[in-house]
Structure formats: C-alpha cells, structure tokens
Amino acid sequence: MSKYQSYKVLEQRLQAELEKLEALKNDKDVAAAAAKEGEFKELTAEIGCPDFMAMAIEVYGLAAVNAAIAPFNSKGEEGKRGAGTRTPRQRKRWTHPETGETFEGGKAGGPVLDWIKEHGKEKVATWAVGI
C-alpha cells in the first residue's frame, strides 16, 4: 500500500472517529458524567487537593478506587455483564426410534426440525437425551 493510500485510509478512519465523538458529545449520559467530574473537581479544589484522584490511585491502587466509586456509577458493577457469565446450553442427542437416525447439538436443528413437523414437538422431545 502506498503512502498516499495509507493517508486516505487514515483520513477516513479519522473522519469516522470524529463523527462518533460528535455523537458522544450530544449523549445525555456523557453530559451527566462530565457534570459529575466538574463537581468533583470543584469539590477537590475547595478542600485544597485538586489532584485527589491521582493521589487516591497512588495510595490505594486503581482496583480499590474503582470499587469505591462503583456505587456512584450509573450502572455500578452489578449492572454490567461480565464475559462468560451465561451457562452454556446443554448438549442433547436426538435419536429417531424408527429410522435410527441421530442428531447431536445444543438445540433442535437439522433433521430434528423436520421430525417436529412430522411427529409433533412433545413426541420428539421424548427422543432427546442429555449428554
């Protein structure tokens, strides 16, 4: 890729990021967070310690500071879903009693859907075995 092509690609990315930034400027949650930050800076300036957050992080560590301010966040820690919190779907094996055909998966699919249309959902459910 030539330097000019790289330049054009970066220019397009920058334009897209600027559009995202402009959208965030108009977001009410961002405005509320900025207002809270302003209030916090005014408060720390009143007590004579304008760099309070940096000092708190240095003394207590970032994890402790995050835990302390979590209740003041809009969602808090309990409102956020961590990665991998959902339990995986139980795998099943369906075996057609007449033909002996089997299908294995996390949910009904493939031939199982055809069997449900032909024999009914309740009957096909009895053919499933958890593995």
Q: Could you list the pLDDT tens digit for every one of the 131 residues in the chain?
A: 789 999 999 999 999 999 999 888 888 888 888 887 788 777 777 777 767 777 777 777 778 877 877 777 655 445 555 566 778 888 888 888 888 888 888 777 788 888 888 899 888 888 888 76
Q: What is the pTM of this model?
A: 0.35
93 bridge partner residues: 104, 129
Domain parsing of the chain, residue ranges: 7-77, 92-130
Residues 127, 114 contacting (CB under 8 angstroms): no
